[in-house]
Amino acid sequence: QVQVVESGGGLVQAGGSLRLSCTASGSIFSINTMAWYRQPPGKQRELVAHISTGGSTKYLDSVKGRFTISRDNAKKMIFLQMNNLKPEDTGIYYCNITGVERFLEGGATILQGFGSWGQGTQVTVSS
C-alpha cells in the first residue's frame, strides 16, 4: 500500500509565498506522474500542476508564472512553490501520485499500478 502525505499549508497574506511538500512511501516500485490538485471552497477539485517522469510540466492557466512544481525522484517527493499568492488560491491542496507498487503474494512478486491521494493541506490567502 502506498501512502502520500502533504505538508506546508497555512495562512498567508496576498502577495506572500508558501512551499508545499508531498512524500510518498510504501512498497513503491516506480513512480510515473506526480501532481497537485486543489479544491476551493464550494467548488470542484481542479488540477493545479503536473510533472511527468521526464520532468515536463503543465500548469493551470491562473497559476502560470507564479507556481512551480518540482520533484525529487530519489526521495519520492514533489514540491509546489507558490509565489504572489492571491485570495482565489485559497483551498485544500492535494497531492496525487501514480506509479507501480510491488508486493509479495503467495510467494510471487506482484507488480500493480496505483494512484494515491494525500489527505490534503489547507492554504488560506487573506486579502
Q: Distance between the two ends of the chain, CA-based, in angstroms?
A: 40
For residue 38, what pLDDT is reported? Answer: 98
| Radius of gyration of the chain from its Cα atoms, rounded to whole angstroms | 16
Percent of the chain scored above 90 by pLDDT? 91
Whether 54 has a pLDDT exceeding 90, the answer reads: no
Q: Is the pLDDT of residue 53 over 90?
A: no
Average pLDDT, integer, range 3-22: 97
56 secondary structure, DSSP code = -
24 burial (CB, 10 Å; 0-12 / 13-18 / 19+) is buried
Tens digits of per-residue pLDDT, 14-36? 999 999 999 999 999 999 999 99
Q: Is residue 86 within 8 Å of 28, Cβ to Cβ?
A: no
How high is the mean pLDDT of the chain? 96
Please compute the mean of the pLDDT values over residues 88-100 and round it to a whole number: 97
99 vs 112: CA distance, rounded Å: 8
